[in-house]
Chains A and B, each alone.
Chain A
Amino acid sequence: QQPVQSPQAVILREGEDAVINCSSSKALYSVHWYRQKHGEAPVFLMILLKGGEQKGHEKISASFNEKKQQSSLYLTASQLSYSGTYFCGTELNNQGGKLIFGQGTELSVKP
Chain B
Amino acid sequence: DAGVIQSPRHEVTEMGQEVTLRCKPISGHNSLFWYRQTMMRGLELLIYFNNNVPIDDSGMPEDRFSAKMPNASFSTLKIQPSEPRDSAVYFCASSLRLTGGNEQFFGPGTRLTVL
Contact = CB atoms under 8 A, between A and B. Distances in A.
Contacts of A41: 91, 106-109
Contacts of A40: 108
A44 B100 CA distance: 15
Contacts of A102: 42
A97 B102 contact: yes
Interface stretch (B19-27, B43-51, B63-71, B73-81): B43-51
Contacts of B43: 42, 87, 101, 104
A25 to B, nearest CB: 17
Interface residues of A, number: 24
Interface residues of B, number: 24
Main secondary structure of the interface of B (DSSP, over half): strand
A42 B45 contact: no
Contact of B31 (A43, A96, A100, A101): A96
A99 interface: yes
Contacts of B56: 96, 98
Nearest to B101: A30
Contact of B95 (A42, A97, A104): A97
A42 B35 CA distance: 11
Nearest to A100: B45
Contacts of A61: none
B12 interface: no
A60 interface: no
A47 B42 contact: no
Interface of A: 29-30, 32, 40-44, 47, 49, 87, 89, 91, 94-104
